[in-house]
Amino acid sequence: MATYAARVSNVAAKVAQGTSVSEALSGESASIALASGPLRFVPGDSAPPGEAYEAFIHRTACVPTRDNLHDFFNGLVWLHYPESKRRLNELQAAEIARDGIGATRGPLRDALTLFDENGAVLDAPKPLWDVLRARDWRGLFVTHRPLWREARLLVFGHALLEKLTVPRKAATAHVLIAPGEMTSGALDDATIAASLHPAHLATKPFTPLPVLGVPGWCVQNENFSFYDDSEVFRPRRDAERSPTPSPCDGGAA
């Protein structure tokens, strides 16, 4: 959350004075542009009937924004990581243009939506990655706890940011496993955007991480019995062959 702190203060102050969320966010977006023009935030009902949300953004460079926390955080991520959000939107719009809007999104759009809503990016030493992918929670949070001093975790998904305003122990991020190494600079906007390859994303390359287990994110985790909760810190199932996402707020299945 600290990543967004300065802009949270600026935008929230304007909203507290009666400005709409879309207007408050637009006041911060002057330097950002999409292919179709300068980025703007517009009222939530601005898209014409029948036009998909992502297609409308791609066509107009306008992000429909309601006066609620969910869209407030979506706007903050747009302001802080415009290249990554633009890349997500371009990929979504291309899929919509090709296949239209059906009953299901398909694997690529599912992955794009999951990362946009609930994704996170981790810059960490290899031993932390190894135990995270194995869902060895004791190894991740107890045995290798000192290594978290060398790690950085960015919550990218705006739905997860919203959930963390009222934290629950089961709040689970889906950490992107990039197609190549993401070490130094992994939380940089350009680096994240460059890692968003369609073929890779279509495999749903994410691994779950209960974020309140991260050292420093919750005072209760200083007592290691915090990690004994098997409803949140679930072991990896033998049948799993790849990091399959768990429900957005239901623990690390």
> For residue range 217-239, what is the model confidence (pLDDT) as tens digits?
999 999 999 999 999 999 887 64
Put residue 61 in one of left, alpha, beta given phi > 0 → left and psi -120 to 50 → alpha. Answer: left
Asked if residues 119 and 176 have their Cβ atoms less than 8 Å apart, the reply is yes
Q: Is residue 39 part of a domain?
A: yes
Q: Print the domain residue range for 210.
A: 114-228
- Which pairs with CB-CB distance under 8 Å and at least 24 residues apart come from 139-147? 140/213, 141/213, 141/214, 141/215, 141/221, 141/224, 141/227, 142/224, 142/227, 145/215
Asked whether residue 204 falls in the same domain as residue 162, the answer is yes
pLDDT of residue 5: 86
Q: Is residue 42 part of a domain?
A: yes
Give residue-wise pLDDT tens across range 50-107: 999 999 999 999 999 999 999 999 999 999 999 999 999 999 999 999 988 876 789 9
pLDDT of residue 179: 80
The CA dihedral of 30, 34, 40, 44, to the nearest 10 degrees, is -160
If you count them, how many residues does the chain have?
Answer: 253
pLDDT of residue 239: 45
Asked if residues 95 and 104 have their Cβ atoms less than 8 Å apart, the reply is no
Asked whether residue 50 falls in the same domain as residue 120, the answer is no
Name the domain count of the chain: 2
pLDDT of residue 241: 47
pLDDT of residue 155: 96
Q: Quick check: 250 pLDDT over 90? A: no
Give residue-wise pLDDT tens across range 204-220: 999 999 999 999 999 99
Asked if residues 70 and 158 have their Cβ atoms less than 8 Å apart, the reply is yes
Q: Is residue 91 part of a domain?
A: no
